[in-house]
Amino acid sequence: MIQFAKYHGCGNNFIIVKEEDARGQDYSALAQAVCSTATGIGADGLIIVREDPQLEMVFYNMDGSRAPMCGNGIRCFAAYCFDNGIRTEKVYPVQTLAGEMIVNMMETSPFLVKISMGKPSFKSADFGVLNGSETFLDQQLETTEGAFTVSSCFMGTVHTVVWVDEFPSETAAGQLSNHPVFTEKTNVNFVKRIDSKTLAIKTYERGVGFTFACGTGACASLVMGLRQGKCESKVTVRLPYGQLIIEQLPDGEVTMAGPAVRVAEGTYIQEEI
C-alpha cells in the first residue's frame, strides 16, 4: 500500500508520492498502474518527491516514460510540499532532469505559484530532431489531414508549436507527435492567437495524448509567439480549467504563474506490477 495525494494544475492532474513511501518500486510500472483510469487512480502523470540529497521532482508520464520536466506538475509539486511541511519558505530551488527550477510562492489560499522555468533552446541537437540543420523552425510536416507549419524548441522538455485557427483532430496531433523526424517524439502545442496578450492552447503530450493544460507547452508557445511577432512578452494563456500567466524576461528567462489544487489523499492498494 502506498500513500498518495492527487493534485491538478488547470486540469492537468497528477498522483504525488513521497519517495520513502514508494522505495523499491519500479517507477515506470507504478506510473502506468496508478495513472490508469480503468484499474488505478487515474492521472496524467506520477510525481515522486525526492528529498535527499536535494529536493527533486521525479516525473513520469502515464505511459511509464520519464520526462525531464512538467510545468503544471511542478506547481502541484510545490503545493504538495507546502501542504506537507516539506517546504514552507517563499522561494526555493527544485531539481529536475531539465535543471534547477526556482519556486516562488505568491499565495497559499488559494495556492498560486510562479516558477522560473529557465531559457529555451532552439538547437535541434538538444531535442533530438534529425533534419540536418541547427534549428527546426517554420518547417512543414505532413499528416493524413494535411500539412502543418511547425517550430520546435527545448523548454524543460521538447515542444513543437503550431499556430492554428481551429484545433485539429487527435489523429493529426498524434502523427505530428510521433513523426519520425523527432527521435524522442515531441509534445505538440496547437495555439490560437486571441490577441497580442492572450493565447488559447491545446496540447498533445507525448505518452499521454491531449491534456487540459501543459505548463512547459504554454512557455514554449509564448517563446515562439514572441519570436514570430504574434504576441507580447507577457501573455495570459486560456485553458479549460484555469489560466496561466507566462512571461519571457529581457535576459531570456521564462516564468510561469498559475494555480495548483489538492483533489484527494488516500492509500493506493497495489496490485502485482
Per-residue pLDDT tens digits for 192-241: 999 999 999 999 999 899 999 999 999 999 999 999 999 999 999 999 99
Q: Are 248 and 256 in contact (CB under 8 A)?
A: no
The residues, ordered by sequence, that sit 6+ positions from 148 with a Cβ below 8 Å of its Cβ are 140, 141, 162, 168, 172, 176
State the catalytic residue, choosing from 81, 214, 219, 231.
214
Per-residue pLDDT tens digits for 167-202: 999 999 999 999 999 999 999 999 999 999 999 999
Domains contained in the chain, CATH given? 2-118+259-268 (3.10.310.10), 124-251 (3.10.310.10)
Cell 532532469 sits on residue: 97
153 in active site: no
Does the annotation list 61 as a binding residue?
A: yes
State the catalytic residue, choosing from 70, 76, 153, 231.
70
What is the rounded average pLDDT of the residues 73-81?
A: 98
Question: Within a 10 A sphere around the Cβ of 23, how many other Cβ atoms?
Answer: 8
Does the annotation list 174 as a binding residue?
A: no
> Residue 130 has what pLDDT?
79
User: What distance lies between CA 139 and its chain's CA centroid?
Assistant: 23
* pLDDT greater than 70 at residue 271: no
Question: How buried is residue 25: exposed, middle or buried, by Cβ count under 10 Å (0-12/13-18/19+)?
Answer: middle
The cell numbers describing 116, all together, are: 522560473
Does the annotation list 216 as a binding residue?
A: yes
219 in active site: no
What is the rounded average pLDDT of the residues 99-111?
A: 96
Does the annotation list 131 as a binding residue?
A: no
CA 128-193-222 angle, to 5 degrees, is 45
Does the annotation list 229 as a binding residue?
A: no
> Residue 57 has what pLDDT?
98
Per-residue pLDDT tens digits for 115-171: 999 999 999 999 989 777 899 999 999 999 999 999 999 999 999 999 999 999 999
User: What distance lies between CA 81 and its chain's CA centroid?
Assistant: 18
Q: SS3 for 235?
A: strand
